[in-house]
């Protein structure tokens, strides 16, 4: 690399902090990280519902439709330095190898096959914590006892929450790094087909040699539209993990501690890790007497979209619109209901219910497919794992927005490195996969700068 390059990173969330910190390791790069929110800090609170309450002014409440027929509902996203990693439940899993091999097989993203990403996961400078016996809580311990493949969940916790902001504090940094908080980017400035800077909402222009978008899967498409980038697929391909909660009233209030401490992946119809059951020691109620199982479909076929008519933005997930998802989710929910109604978890002496009318979970086992589908549609939730709205693929692929290395097709100097570019949602919670992806795209950007 001959001269100093200025890279502007838009969004200081999980991906943005990882990219900015990684690029700033190079002495020839000067990074400006622009984050719309405040510094969310790291914090010692293990209870993620408490973190959400404490940081309520640092959360975006978006309105979305989860299914094709549902009315809009509140959908949480982080706003502040560290992004999702500063407020989430800290569960840190890579996702099943087959999921990444699908990226390679179905979307031609051969550099993202498991053999390559496994190395990248191993290289991340994270110290994860597996809850010890005293930290497991009632639900965590019960799940481990009742499901043979259940595991203690690795958590992004090491003497406190490990937010992605830790990537900004590396001692061996050689390049310059400036972090600007409360800086909302409205668009990328494009000149002759090249990104040359960004415009802040108050009108200031910040010049750049390269711009990396990391606003998250629900914001990055909006910045691309505002910048007059004309790839028709921007906003399509939206995914999250559909989820429902089976709840129970505990015999005693849950102790302070980690909310989620154990999980089990479930194979469905021959697809490995197609479902996930997470043990919630507490679900955020003030009395701390409600626990539950979060039951989520992790291998997902349905696709939604984020769209705009030029003024309003519409976010539609279209969850369970693909009949393969309905079939798999029915199977998963029946397995979970059996576990609490007649299986191992029924022996805890607790009453398990499946909705806010306190309907016993056993009722789910008596439902025909169409009845269970209706129940799923009315009780459906999500995991705040939006991905896929600017997916990777070849230039000729009409549904791709960025190259396999994160470069926006048709515009030079412009990259996307956040959850938007996943072609298919990983079969696990998304924070660790986003960290891996952002760290690899930072490496590709460095290769580009050095070439």
The contact set with ligand FAD (CB under 6 A) reads 10-16, 34-37, 76-80, 83-85, 87-91, 184-185, 214-216, 219, 384-385, 418-419, 429-432, 434
Nearest approach in angstroms of CB 115 to ligand FAD is 22
Nearest approach in angstroms of CB 72 to ligand FAD is 17
**Whole-angstrom distance, CA of residue 35 vs CA of residue 13:** 8
Nearest approach in angstroms of CB 373 to ligand FAD is 27
Q: Which is nearer to ligand FAD, 36 or 290 (CB)?
A: 36
**Whole-angstrom distance, CA of residue 237 vs CA of residue 201:** 27
**Whole-angstrom distance, CA of residue 400 vs CA of residue 281:** 40
Q: Which is nearer to ligand FAD, 91 or 341 (CB)?
A: 91
Q: Which is nearer to ligand FAD, 22 or 429 (CB)?
A: 429
Q: Which residue is nearest to ligand FAD (CB)?
A: 13
CA-angle at 230, arms to 229 and 234, nearest 5° = 85
Nearest approach in angstroms of CB 306 to ligand FAD is 13
Q: Which is nearer to ligand FAD, 247 or 294 (CB)?
A: 294
Nearest approach in angstroms of CB 138 to ligand FAD is 19
Q: Which is nearer to ligand FAD, 353 or 429 (CB)?
A: 429
Q: Which is nearer to ligand FAD, 162 or 431 (CB)?
A: 431
**156 CB contacts (<8 Å, ≥6 apart)?**
85, 90, 92, 126, 128, 129, 162, 163, 431, 432
Which residues are bridge partners to 38 per DSSP? Answer: 80
Q: Which is nearer to ligand FAD, 94 or 413 (CB)?
A: 94
Instruction: Return the beta strands (E) in 170-230 as ranges.
Output: 176-180, 185-191, 194-200, 205-207, 210-213
**Whole-angstrom distance, CA of residue 236 vs CA of residue 124:** 30
93, 154 Cβ separation under 8 angstroms: yes
Q: Which is nearer to ligand FAD, 11 or 413 (CB)?
A: 11
Nearest approach in angstroms of CB 165 to ligand FAD is 10
Nearest approach in angstroms of CB 363 to ligand FAD is 29
**Considering only CA atoms, which of 446, 443, 352 is closest in space to residue 119?**
443
Q: Which is nearer to ligand FAD, 326 or 405 (CB)?
A: 405
**Considering only CA atoms, which of 21, 39, 40, 18 is closest in space to residue 29?**
21
Nearest approach in angstroms of CB 157 to ligand FAD is 11
**Considering only CA atoms, which of 161, 195, 196 is closest in space to residue 81?**
161
Q: Which is nearer to ligand FAD, 284 or 360 (CB)?
A: 284
CA atoms within 13 A on the CB side of 196: 6
**Whole-angstrom distance, CA of residue 195 vs CA of residue 413:** 5
**Whole-angstrom distance, CA of residue 235 vs CA of residue 401:** 9
Nearest approach in angstroms of CB 102 to ligand FAD is 19
196, 413 Cβ separation under 8 angstroms: yes
**217 CB contacts (<8 Å, ≥6 apart)?**
238, 386, 387, 388, 389, 390, 418, 419, 420
Q: Which is nearer to ligand FAD, 51 or 364 (CB)?
A: 51
Nearest approach in angstroms of CB 123 to ligand FAD is 18
Nearest approach in angstroms of CB 383 to ligand FAD is 7
**112 CB contacts (<8 Å, ≥6 apart)?**
100, 103, 104, 392, 404
**291 CB contacts (<8 Å, ≥6 apart)?**
137, 138, 139, 247, 248, 250, 254, 279, 280, 281, 282, 283
């Amino acid at each position: 690399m001959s001269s100093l390059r200025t890279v502007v990173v838009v969004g200081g969330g999980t991906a943005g902090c990882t990219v900015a910190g990684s690029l700033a390791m190079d002495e020839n790069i000067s990074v400006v990280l622009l984050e719309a929110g405040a510094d969310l800090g790291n914090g010692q609170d293990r209870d993620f519902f408490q973190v959400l309450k404490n940081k309520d002014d640092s959360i975006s409440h978006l309105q979305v439709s989860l299914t094709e027929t549902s009315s809009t509902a509140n959908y949480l996203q982080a706003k502040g330095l560290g992004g999702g990693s500063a407020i989430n439940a800290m569960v840190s899993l890579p996702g099943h190898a087959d999921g990444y091999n699908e990226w390679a097989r179905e979307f031609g993203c051969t550099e993202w096959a498991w053999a390559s990403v496994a190395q990248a996961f191993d290289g991340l400078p994270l110290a994860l914590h597996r809850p010890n016996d005293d930290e497991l809580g009632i639900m965590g311990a019960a799940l481990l006892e009742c499901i043979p493949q259940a595991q203690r969940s690795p958590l992004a916790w090491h003497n406190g929450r490990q937010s992605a902001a830790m990537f900004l504090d590396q001692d061996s940094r050689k390049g310059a790094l400036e972090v600007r908080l409360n800086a909302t980017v409205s668009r990328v400035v494009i000149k002759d087909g090249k990104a040359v800077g960004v415009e802040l909402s108050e009108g200031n222009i910040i010049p750049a040699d390269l711009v990396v978008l990391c606003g998250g899967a629900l914001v990055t498409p909006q910045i691309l539209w505002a910048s007059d980038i004309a790839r028709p697929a921007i906003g399509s391909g939206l995914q999250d993990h559909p989820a429902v909660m089976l709840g129970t009233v505990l015999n005693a209030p849950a102790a302070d501690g980690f909310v989620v401490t154990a999980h089990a992946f479930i194979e469905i119809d021959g697809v490995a890790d197609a479902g996930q059951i997470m043990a919630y020691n507490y679900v955020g109620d003030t009395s701390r007497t409600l626990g539950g199982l979060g039951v989520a479909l992790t291998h997902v076929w349905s696709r939604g979209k984020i769209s705009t008519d030029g003024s309003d933005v519409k976010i539609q997930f279209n969850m369970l619109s693909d009949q393969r998802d309905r079939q798999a989710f029915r199977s998963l929910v029946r397995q979970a209901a059996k576990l609490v109604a007649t299986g191992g978890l029924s022996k805890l002496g607790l009453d398990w219910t499946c909705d806010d009318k306190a309907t016993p979970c056993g009722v789910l086992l008596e439902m025909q497919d169409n009845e269970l589908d209706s129940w799923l549609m009315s009780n459906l939730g999500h995991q705040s794992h939006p991905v896929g709205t600017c997916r990777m693929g070849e230039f000729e692929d009409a549904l791709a927005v960025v190259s396999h290395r994160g470069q926006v097709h048709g515009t030079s100097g412009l990259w996307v490195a956040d959850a938007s570019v996943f072609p298919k949602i990983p079969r696990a919670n998304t924070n660790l996969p986003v960290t891996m992806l952002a760290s690899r795209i930072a490496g590709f950007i460095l290769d580009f700068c050095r070439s």
